[in-house]
Structure 1
Amino acid sequence: MSRSPALGRSRQLLVSCGLSLAATVAAIPALGAEVMTIAYGPLEVSVPLAELENYARTGKLTGELSRYRGLLSPEQQADLRQALNQRVDMSPTLVSQIAYSKTGDAVLKRLGAFIKSKDASNGLTALRATVVQAAASSEGLTLLNLMRKFPTREIQVDVASGVKLATEVTTLLAQGDRMVLAVEAEAQREMSQDAPVQSLADLRQSGPYRWDTYRLDLKDERTLGDFARNRQIPLDIYMPQGLKDGPASVVLFSHGIASDRNSLLYLAKHLASHGIAIAVPEHVGSNDAKFQQFFDGVGDPPEPREAIDRPLDLSFVLDHLTQLAQTDSRFRGKINLDQVTAIGQSFGGYTVLALGGAELNFSSLNQACVAGEPRSFLNISLLLQCRIAELKGISVKLADPRVKAVMAINPLTSQVFSQAGLEKVAVPTLVVASSGDFIVPPSEEQLRPFTWLKVPQRYLAVMRNATHFSVLEPPAPGDKALPLPANLGGPDVKLTQGYMAALSVAFVKCHGAGDPAFEPYLSASYARRLSQPAVPLSLVKRISADELERAAKAVAGSD
């Protein structure tokens, strides 16, 4: 029995949501559930928890459970047993911190709509009390242990609500798959119009330059209107040695949330080897250290103002580079600040789009969010986007005219910018999407939004089978702010990193440095040349909203 990609990823999405759950560390003794009642409309079926425990331990369906053997295929039975026993290693403190954050509250409230107490009320409060008990116990955080620790004798599972959610998740992912197929079809059409690429260099290979690394600690103490900064900005600079063709173009990097300035280290070094100066700041208000303090219970969660602070970090770095280019012999005459590109991933993708001219759209956020929570639970990135709605009333200019091009990898865009805000991007733009990204779903956050861009020099690269984490450096052992399964990087991160290396060199050289000789590298044909079967790569310069919507509707029409 084969599994559809959408179904497989829907299961992965639900697991990822589970990673976001947490609860209070209060030592409330759990009564422990004894019965799970499955309700579907007027029908109710009760299964003793002891039978589920026996099945999880032995793999045998006994008692009441044995009556439903025919409803589950052998594969589904194996999946159920694995789900019951799957352990998520999260400390009780980490669990507690997340659950009492706005994000955790929103997730638990949605799950509580179909995992309920005996009186059929929303299970939010019970789930909070349960997950910490499970995380603190020797058995750990497993689905079966959550049932054991549930603070009422009976758990009610509203199947109709669960099926509705699962159907919506599967449909969203299937629509994303169809949209990716539409992009791949457009790439095939564009290939017929491309110039031959066989003689083009392999830009995945390192360039001829060595580089020096400089580490600086900056502080921005400006007040912009009523927005006070007082912001530390650690900065790494990778400066190519022995440049022969004049000063180096400059690239600014912006890392994602709960990440740091080493997350794209391979890309910084690769670009430096091609004679490009790289400036990599750390966004201290939303980096991995900030999240680790929060998870350890010794710090506050990141603030919505990060959506303002991050672009301002990059602009301040440009200010400082301008000063260094005039006063510091290490940089004087060696960097060209008329040739600046910004590259960011995830929240960093949002950051560089804002620098490129995209404008915050609070009207769109207010429609998509209620009291800081998303109306739709399917798009996890809305949990972050809706928090940005709290910034309404703050007016700070984020666009920086010194930035001549932006490369946004897995950016979140749909509501924080919407069409009205994204249309304002005024510089060449490369958007990168991963088909298996369940954190920032490509259909909602990159594919549709790409059609909103009006700038003539725009490109969309799609990596099939890649995930939100495929382009990142693997975290060092013991350096994880977020506990993520090892397989979330996708099939082969070396492939995806190679794609990013080649595309970034071509994009920066072509649109940051203004060298038209690199335009052929930004083509469907060159992407096909790079593409490998495990993670197929496609690149297009155009695709219409109508084409994507027809692809999405084909999913609904086939059900």
Structure 2
Amino acid sequence: MKLKIDLFKGKNSQKLAKNTQRIQNLPLNLKMLPLKRLAIIKRFDKGFQSSLLWSATVTSLSFASILSSLMATPALAAEKLVLRLGPFQQSVNVADLDSFAKTGQLSTSLRPYGALLTPQVQQLLTKRLQVDPSIANKFIDDLLRAPEGNQLIKQIRVAIPDSTVTQVRIALALALRQANGLSAVSFLRAYPDDQITVDLSSAIAIALEINVPFIQSQSVTSLLESSLTVPSTSFSASFNPASPGKERINKRTITIQDTKRNRTIPVDIYWDQSSSGPLVVISHGFAANRESLTYLARHLASQGLTVAALDHPDSNFTTLPGASIGSKLTTGGVTGLLLPASEFINRPKDISFLLDQLAELNQQPGTLQGKLNTQQVSVIGHSLGGYTALAVAGGELHLDELRSFCQERSLFSKSGGDWLQCAAADLPQSRLQLQDKRVAQAIALNPVIGQLFGKTGLAKVNIPTLIWTSTGDALTPTLSHQLRPFSQLRGSKYLVTAIGGTHLSLSDPDNLNPQLAQTTLVREITGKEAEPMRQLLKGVSLAFIKQLTPEANNYQQFLTSGYAQSLSTPGLSLRLNTTLPSNLNAFVEFAQ
């Protein structure tokens, strides 16, 4: 990335042209560039709407070399803040804010803001984002070009009313390259001006919304795309596993009642007249329902499989009207109100109870007799349903590790998925196994995992497993909820990566809870934009399940990188791998 001085047109075009020439003629030896040079440039023309933008060529200096020069310039460090709260404003030292972050003690200048500078705000000030130094330059470049990065910069400029795009970018870049990473205080110290005016209420609101695990995952996106790409010739096959089958689909809704647990569970069953092979069970995500993957259920049924999609009481859309992870999870204790800890046990038990009931139904005269193979089951789960699938697959919950994570980690350093997993910390057990040995395969789509299984709990999964991750997932970020867990798996495993996909991209567009799409920095990719991902899911899921049948060899070709990459589009890079390259493993280890 190179430096460009980009001037918006003022009323006097001749003056603007002269100022443009003057700026282009400035010596750009940034090792000697004092802090006030940026301020001088900013004041050249009152018609400027922004003084500096990063884009094309005015100088041959790279962004990395500019940053190195700036880091070598001690003058580039803000030490004074003007904190603004409505009509009231007060000058304070950055050092006072740093001291408050470390000790919780308010200096004389900060005391007027005591009502806002709560212990929760102290946590916000200590929240840090760290990036592997070996990819810091690439991460900064990608973040500042991404829509999420642009949105973040816009929000910061609301909190710092007099800031320019360039000043915010420089401060972010310099702070990220520091040994202790990016924090509110390190950002302020790196800001290229000697004094900063901060709108305190706006700044706190923005800090509450910043999703550190998601931004951290963004640092690995470009690395994923390059590392997971497998050079191959164009993919071709004699048939398309994502095309609808020829069979006529039947659907029946039943309700099963578990009186021991007081659970009423609606179930949609899909099949055709010639259904055979493994039974497929679909588990929905938090605040969704059994219709969230209807298109997938109907596709698999059209290919000769029986599918049962169930509702989980206490974590579905019906029992949680209006629940929104993005907007509601902002204060302590809310997670427990939305999701009881017992749901982490009840969900896997719902599946086991369903299999018991379907085993009985399979023996009864009727249209479903002989079509419910409960001894050979493939479980597909999305989000919290992904956790459910891995639990019944044999994953061991490590609740002591989870409790440590939830207690030590700043409340505001968590993604929506982290909030949900921490609800399980109230369970009394230390370790917990909820495996159902009738489950022969597991597919976890954007699963909520995090620390639920600790560092080794997923190593106990001994059945074929497929994990789907989307790099734009702000609710269950790639790094902590999918890549780390995938690296734990020891048996046959597949990783599908949708570079550019989001948490709800795989959801049925006709059965999507719109409130779940209300996230802070990320627009959910759904509808037609996400169609390539849904096509890949239909093809890969069918091929994966068919590995339990005599047709396994015919479908193996669709469990390859070539097939996934063939469905990529300019906006969505799709990958399928069975291992993580060594450079990604190293990054995963560093980021823990």
TM range (shorter): 0.5 to 0.7
Q: CA deviation at 1:2?
A: 7.0
Which of these residues, 253, 273, 290, is aligned with residue 215 of structure 1? 253
Q: Distance in 1 between matches of 2:453 and 2:380?
A: 18
Q: Quick check: 1:320 aligned with 2:357?
A: yes
AA in 2 matched with 1:541: T
Provide, for residues 238-274 of structure 1, a one-character-per-residue CA deviation record: whole Å limited to 9, x for no partner. Answer: 011245xxx3421000000010111111110111111
Amino acid paired to 1:270: H
The reply to whether residue 469 of structure 1 matches residue 463 of structure 2 is: no
Q: Distance in 2 between matches of 1:386 and 1:417?
A: 12
Of 403, 415, 427, the match for 2:463: 427
Larger relative contact order, structure 1 or 2 (CA cutoff 8 Å, min sep 6): 1
Structure 1 residues 250, 513: CA separation in 2 closer, same or farther (over 3 Å shift)? farther
- The DSSP-based 3-state class of the residue aligned with 2:544 is helix
Q: Deviations over 1:261-308 (max 9, x none)?
A: 1111111011111111000010111001111177999x9633111111
Partner of 1:84: none
Give the counterpart letter for 1:301 in structure 2: L
User: 1:422 & 1:414 partners in 2: Cα distance?
Assistant: 11
Does 2:220 align with 1:176? yes
Name the aligned partner's letter for residue 270 of structure 2: Y
Query: Alignment identity in percent?
Result: 28
TM-score (norm 2): 0.62
Q: Measure, in 1, the Cα distance between the counterparts of 2:298 and 2:369.
A: 21
Tell which deviates more after alignment, 41-50 or 262-271: 41-50
How many residue pairs match? The answer is: 422
State the match for 2:133 in structure 1.
Answer: none
Change (3 A) 1:126 1:167: closer
1:252 corresponding residue in structure 2: 281
5+ long unaligned stretches in structure 1: 4-39, 52-63, 65-108, 128-141, 147-153, 223-228
Structure 1 letter corresponding to 2:558: Y
* Structure 1 residue corresponding to 2:314, chosen from 272, 281, 285: 285
Give distance in 2, aligned partners of 1:422 and 1:555.
Answer: 19
Secondary structure class of the residue paired with 2:200: strand
Offset of residue 518 of structure 1: 1.5
Distance in 1 of aligned mates of 2:550 and 2:430: 34
- Is 2:304 the partner of 1:275? yes
1:541 and 2:573 correspond: no
With over 3 angstroms needed to count, the CA separation of the structure-2 counterparts of 1:516 and 1:241, relative to structure 1, is: same
Q: Which residue of 1 aligns with 2:435?
A: 399
Residues 394 and 164 from structure 1, CA distance in 2 versus in 1: closer, same or farther, beyond 3 angstroms? closer
Corresponding residue number in structure 1 for 2:537 = 500
Distance 1:235 1:338, change over 3 A: same
In 1: Cα distance, 2:211 partner to 2:445 partner: 28
CA distance in structure 2 between the aligned counterparts of 1:174 and 1:360, rounded to whole angstroms: 27
Q: Does 1:484 align with 2:518?
A: yes
Cα 1:461/1:276, change in 2 over 3 Å: same
Q: How far off its partner does 1:352 sit?
A: 0.2
Aligned pairs (5 A) from 1:32-51: 43-47=80-84, 49=86
- Pick the aligned partner of 2:237 from 199, 202, 215: 199
Q: What is the distance in 1 between the residues matched to 2:495 and 2:363?
A: 37
Contact 2:287 2:323 in 1 (8 A): no
2:32 alignment counterpart: none
Question: Residue 160 of structure 1: CA displacement?
Answer: 11
Instruction: Give the conservation status (yes or no) of the 8 Å contact 2:416–2:476.
Output: yes
Q: C-alpha separation between the residues in 1 aligned to 2:80 and 2:534?
A: 51
Larger radius of gyration: 2
Counterpart contact for 1:113–1:122, Cα < 8 Å:
no
SS in 2 for 1:216: strand
TM-score normalized by structure 1? 0.66
- 1:503-514 matches, cutoff 5 A: 503-511=540-548
Per the TM alignment, residue 534 of structure 1 is displaced from its structure 2 partner at its CA by 2.1
Q: Give, in whole Å, the separation in 2 of the partners of 1:324 and 1:422.
A: 32
Alpha-carbon distance change, 448 to 156 in structure 1, aligned in 2, over 3 angstroms:
same
Alignment equivalent of 2:406, drawn from 369, 372, 376: 369
Q: Using the alignment, how far apart are the partners of 1:167 and 1:496 within structure 2?
A: 24
CA distance in 2 between counterparts of 1:519 and 1:113 reads: 62
Could you tell me which residue of structure 2 aligns to residue 348 of structure 1?
385
- 1:46-61 superposed matches below 5 A: 46-47=83-84, 49=86
Aligned-residue offset at 1:498: 1.0
Task: State the alpha-carbon separation in 1 of the partners of residues 349 and 241 from structure 2.
Answer: 31
Asked if 2 retains the 8 angstrom alpha-carbon contact of 1:290 and 1:302, the reply is: no
- Out of 312, 331, 351, the position equivalent to 2:368 is 331
CA 1:211–1:124 in structure 2 vs 1: closer, same or farther (change >3 Å)?
farther
Q: Distance in 1 between matches of 2:591 and 2:444?
A: 28
Cα distance in 1 for residues equivalent to 2:539 and 2:54: 35
